[in-house]
Homo-oligomer: A and B are copies of this chain.
Amino acid sequence: MVGDTEGQPRRRLTRAEAKARTRDQILDAAARVFAEKGYAGASVEEIAESAGFSTGALYSNFDSKQELFLQLMLAWRSRATERQAEQATRFVDDDNEDPLVLLAQRLARVTDRSTEAAALQAEFWLYAVRNPEAMQILAQTTAARIDALIPLVTHVMQRYGGNPGIAPEEVTRIALGMFAGLARQRRIDPGAVSADLITQGLRWLLIGMSTASPD
């Protein structure tokens, strides 16, 4: 999964590369364990062992449990934003017939799959509410996420006869908020929040936006 550039046979890792690999494996394990047990409920020993290392290895890569969590926030949210940006680009390029329905279906599917990701996001949010440094990281990565989604939202807005006086960023934030809120409700009571309800909400929002008179 690493290297392989210019068709060389599998090269032995340098010390720095090996360390970076360990760090990544610990971050992966941390994501799993923090999602399952929460910040305070997760133990560094379980994280280290789940990654296949001793606790000492963890402390050789991170200063403390808090630092590990902050680094996880940064790494995880950055990577998620990158993936979203790619998917958004591909979606716009595909130029589907009814983008909104397709989009809502995908979102509903994402919701149902990854409870782990949702729990982790909630942990991030709670940690940030209690910790200014984490709050800053969350604000920055959220802004990056919004930016990554703007092309997609602009595209859908145009399809719905968008109102040119409206900032795509605002629509993006509202749509994202609505989706996140409904996803959370859906996880509590899947029967009460159908995939259609999500589509419905997004559609009403876009119709309303394109109909409303600019103030």
Q: Are B201 and A212 in contact (CB under 8 A)?
A: no
Copies in the complex: 2
Output the least CB separation between A137 and chain B (Å): 10
Instruction: Give which listed residue, B125, B204, B205, contacts A122 with CB less than 8 A.
Output: B125
Give the size of the chain A interface in residues (CB under 8 angstroms). 51
The reply to whether A176 and B170 form a contact with Cβ atoms under 8 Å apart is no
B129 & A187 in contact (Cβ 8 Å cutoff): yes
For A205, give its contact among B143, B182, B184, B205 (CB under 8 Å): B205
| Interface residues of A, Cβ cutoff 8 Å to B | 36-41, 115, 118-119, 122-123, 125-126, 128-130, 135, 138-139, 142-143, 146, 170, 173-174, 176-182, 184-185, 187-189, 192-193, 197, 200-201, 203-209, 211-212
Distance between A26 CB and nearest chain B CB, rounded to angstroms:
21
**Given contact pairs A182-B177, A208-B206, A212-B203, A188 touches B122 in the complex (Cβ within 8 A):** no
